[in-house]
Structures are given as structure tokens and as C-alpha cells.
Amino acid sequence: MSYLIKGETADWELVIGLEIHAQVISNSKLFSGSATAFGAAPNSHVSLVDAAMPGMLPVINKHCIEQAVKTGLGLNAQINLHSVFERKNYFYADLPQGYQISQFLHPIVGEGKLVLDMEDGSVREIGIERLHMEQDAGKSIHDKDPRRTFIDLNRAGVCLMEIVSHPEMRSPEEAGAYVRKVRSIVRYLETCDGNMEEGSMRADVNVSVRKVGETDLRTRTETKNVNSVRFMMQAIEYEAQRQVEVWESGGAVDQETRLFDPDSGETRAMRSKEYAHDYRYFPDPDLLPIELTEAFIDAIREQMPELPDQKKKRFMRDLGLSAYDADVLVGERETADYFEVVAQGRDAKAAANWVISNLFGALKAAEKDITSSPVSAEHLGRLLDLIADDTISGRIAKDVFEIMFATGQDPVLIVEEKGLRQITDTGAIEAAVDQAIADNPDQAEEVRQGNAKAIGWFVGQVMQKTQGKANPQAVNKLLRDKLSS
């Protein structure tokens, strides 16, 4: 699969690298005891350290280190035993210290790789350059007052992981798949909630283009402010097209930071290189280097949950699921967990079908997600049991499911209360069949003349008479016996 932009002079390919900023799940900030909860009143989670009062010192939050190591392991990456916090110096009103404590020369996590299963069945491997830890800045609010800017420091000092990919993605789809994969992994690990709308996961997108066959990289731009996978893919498409037009018209792409505007779907220059910061990185003298031991890393490794790739393989190998079904089910940990409860001791393929076709469809229509599903995994499993032991037919099961979705009730209860149990008593079915034949002599004659289609019509009649409870196979067989000439 190759994604190329046709220009006047050549075909152009995309070179995409991503920097994902993932907010670490932790009760307190990276270097202070302040709470990290989202949505609190402005400036209510701000300690003396966060506000950079004179003489305040950062103290590292060990839990954040564990979270970063865990994420590194989840990204199949090298964990560095020695890493260093450095100061990235720049002035901004929502950066109280006048520097961001980050990692630069010695990040906590080094080279790793992610495997992407593309929709067309191809597999892409994307290299990860590094993961480093850093403090988030506060928030500047410009739209409350025409002249003034308000500052909210609740976010200042919250721990972020910056996950930097190699520039190895070649299409918006690959970039999309990469972000979804990273999101899936951090959510499995519970190191980041992956919520892009609330900004707890954000991506900066580095894009350049080059003519097919070129080996050197051309100038790239960095686009910020993409807060969904869809926007990111739009931004890449727009930016690549723009760059091709610049090159084709004899111009040159400027190395610059651009901002994505979700309303127009366009990117625009934010800061040009004349204003490029010299961040004057140097090791933070207030903090000692982080020295990890193998034992510390091993202890974290032992607590690692099964990750999506492993789970997918297991679903395919042990449960016989198709690659597509397995992929859909492992994307979210909650979905996979739900599916496993449904499939436990049952036909896994049938369970996968019900979860993917029926449940997902209903959830989507109701704008709910798996965690708020009115149908519990236990109940769905019981519904499958009712089908498997012929208590109800597959058709009735769909009706039962609808009731379950609307009421949250146990399917066993619904079947009993509504009297939906399948009629397996051949006597009762035979009576209904005889009745139907007697009531419709013309149609019966048609069947006898060899119109096989009319059998279906008789089945429908019998099912209607029995409110769908007759076993359709039994009805079919009786009709054939009785109407065979």
C-alpha cells in the first residue's frame, strides 16, 4: 500500500514522524504533591513548587518513574538505567519556573518498536526513538477578556511522557494506526487514559515530502494542536499537499511550527524559525540523576498485563478467531475483557459475532461505550447459552437482546416472562403445521406441484402462529414430509 501525491513533476511520498505527549496517570504531579485531577476549579491544584515560589525545589514522584518504565516495556523499548532531568529554558506566562524540567540527552527510555496491522492486512513496523519524561505547563486562557490573559496552573507540573517515533510513517492511515496503537497500549498499561479530547494525549506531527526515489529528507514542519486521530490524519493530508505545491511551484518549505485549525481543516504557520528558541538545556542541579536497577525493572515487568498484540495472537491461536475479529476485540482492554467473559466456556466465534455485530451496533446507535453497556457480559453469555441449548432460536435471541439492551434484564428472565421458550414438542408443532396446511389449501397445492419457495411461506405462517417459538428446523421438516407428493 503506498500513499503518493501526484505532482506536475513527480510523485511525492510522505515522511511522517510523531511526538505523542501522554499525560501519566498518577495521583500527584511529577515534582510536587499537588493533585492531578482534571476539571478542578482554576488554580486549585497548585503547590508552592508548581507556582515556582522562590527557593522551592522539585522532588521526584517515584510512581511517575514506574509508569514511564512500564510504558517503555510496553513499547518493546530499551530502559535506560541512567537518565537525567534537564532544564529546558524559555519564558512564558504559564511556565512558572521559566524552564520546563524535561529529559534531553539521557531519556529514561530508548529505542523501541511498534507493529501496526493495517486494514488491508499488511504489517508495518515503526521504530520508536525514545520516551522521555517532562513537566506539563499551565494553561493560558486568552478568550475571557479582550486585553488580558488568565493563567490556570492546575496542569503545571503534571507528568507527561513524550513518545518520539522515527520518521517512518508513509501515509495518514499509518499515522492514525500508530496513534491508536500507542493509545491502546498505554490504556492497557493504565499509564495514560488516552483521552485526546481532554488533552491527556496530544500529538505533534512532523511532516515532510520527497520525490519517490529520493533518499534524503526534505525540510519538515511540525504541526501542533491535533486533538483527535481524525484531525491528525486531516492535518497530514493538508500539510503534505501544501508542501508538494510549495516544492512544485519552485519554492521551499520553511522549517516551522504550524497550528491545525479543525474548523477549516488547514494548518497555518505559528512561529517561524526567526523566533526559534534556544532552550539552553542543562542538567537540573536540583535533582539527582535517576539510577534504576535491573531488579526495579524486573518487578515492573512482572506486573505487566497481557498487551493487545499478545492478546490478539492468543485469540487467534486458542479461540480460532479471524485476524479481523481479534483485532477489533483487543483494541480496547475493556472490550477484550468483556469478550473474554462472554466467550468463557462457550463458542468463541459465536461470542465474537454477537459482541462485534450486535452489541457494538447497538452501543454505537445508543452512543454508549462498552463500559456503559446496559447488557452485561454475563447476561450476553447466558443469551448465547439459551441459543446453544435450543431454548430459543437465533431469531428470538435478537428480540431478547433488544429487550436486554433496553432494560438491562437477564435473558433467562425475559424468556420465561415473555414465554419465548422454543416449542420443541413435535405434537404441538405438528398441530400448527396441519392447521396451516388446512387453512391454505391453494398454497399447499403449489408446494406439492413443486414450488419449493412456497415452503418458506408456510414456515413463516407456522412461526407466526407459534409467535416464533417453534423450532424452525422441526417446522421445515414436518412441512416437507406432509407436502411431499
CB of 20 to another protein, least distance (A): 26
Choose among 67, 69, 63: nearest CA to 83. 69
Compute CA distances 72 → 5, 66, 228, 266, 291, whole Å: 35, 10, 23, 33, 16
Q: Which amino acid is at 213?
A: G
- Candidates 2, 9, 39, 91: give the one binding another protein (CB under 8 A): 91
Q: Which is nearer to another protein, 4 or 51 (CB)?
A: 51
- Give 112-161 as a DSSP string: EEEEEE-TTS-EEEEEEEEEEEEE---EEE-SSSSS--EEE-TTTT-EEE
Give the separation between CA 371 and CA 227, rounded to whole angstroms.
22
Is residue 278 near another protein by the rule CB under 8 A? Answer: yes
From the list 45-53, 119-127, 293-301, 315-323, the region that binds another protein by CB under 8 A is 45-53
Q: Which residue has the cell 415452503?
A: 455
Q: Which is nearer to another protein, 33 or 460 (CB)?
A: 33
Is residue 275 near another protein by the rule CB under 8 A? Answer: no
Q: Which is nearer to another protein, 121 or 285 (CB)?
A: 285
From the list 107-115, 231-239, 278-286, 305-313, the region that binds another protein by CB under 8 A is 278-286
Q: Which is nearer to another protein, 8 or 278 (CB)?
A: 278
- Candidates 122, 149, 371, 424: give the one binding another protein (CB under 8 A): 149
CB of 41 to another protein, least distance (A): 18
Q: Which is nearer to another protein, 276 or 299 (CB)?
A: 276
CB of 103 to another protein, least distance (A): 16
Residues binding another protein: number (CB under 8 A): 30
Instruction: Yes or no: say if 336 and 350 are a contact pair by the CB < 8 Å rule.
Output: no
Assign 3-state DSSP to the chain and report helix, strand, coil percentages, each to 5: 40, 20, 40
List the x/- string, 374-413, binding to another protein by CB under 8 A. ----------------------------------------
- Candidates 2, 8, 41, 54: give the one binding another protein (CB under 8 A): 54
Q: Which amino acid is at 100?
A: Q
Is residue 217 near another protein by the rule CB under 8 A? Answer: no
Give the separation between CA 470 and CA 419, rounded to whole angstroms.
12
Instruction: Yes or no: say if 148 and 179 are a contact pair by the CB < 8 Å rule.
Output: no
CB of 24 to another protein, least distance (A): 19
Is residue 57 near another protein by the rule CB under 8 A? Answer: yes
* Grid cell locating 285: 542541579
- Candidates 37, 44, 98, 467: give the one binding another protein (CB under 8 A): 98
Is residue 227 near another protein by the rule CB under 8 A? Answer: no
Choose among 165, 175, 239, 242: nearest CA to 207. 239
Site for another protein in 319-378 (CB under 8 A): none
CB of 182 to another protein, least distance (A): 30
Q: Which residue has the cell 477578556?
A: 145
What strands lie across the sheet with 282-283, from one edge to the other?
A: 99-103, 85-89, 282-283
- Candidates 16, 151, 432, 447: give the one binding another protein (CB under 8 A): 151
Instruction: Yes or no: say if 243 and 208 are a contact pair by the CB < 8 Å rule.
Output: yes
Is residue 272 near another protein by the rule CB under 8 A? Answer: no
Is residue 448 near another protein by the rule CB under 8 A? Answer: no
CB of 43 to another protein, least distance (A): 10
CB of 285 to another protein, least distance (A): 4
From the list 49-57, 297-305, 385-393, 474-482, the region that binds another protein by CB under 8 A is 49-57
In 253-380, DSSP assigns E strands to: 257-261, 266-271, 282-283, 290-291
Site for another protein in 284-303 (CB under 8 A): 285-288
Phi-psi region of 194 (alpha: psi -120 to 50; beta: other; left: phi over 0): left
CB of 141 to another protein, least distance (A): 14
- Candidates 4, 56, 246, 413: give the one binding another protein (CB under 8 A): 56
CB of 151 to another protein, least distance (A): 7
Handedness of CA 191, 193, 195, 198 (dihedral sign): negative
Is residue 59 near another protein by the rule CB under 8 A? Answer: yes
CA dihedral 420, 421, 422, 428 (to 10 degrees): -100
- Give 348-395 as a DSSP string: HHHHHHIIIIIIHHHHHHTT--GGG-SS-HHHHHHHHHHHHTTSS-HH
Q: Which is nearer to another protein, 117 or 284 (CB)?
A: 284
Give the separation between CA 394 and CA 131, rounded to whole angstroms.
50
Q: Which is nearer to another protein, 97 or 234 (CB)?
A: 97
| Residues found near another protein in the complex (CB under 8 A) | 48, 51-60, 87, 89, 91-93, 96-99, 149, 151, 278, 280-282, 285-288
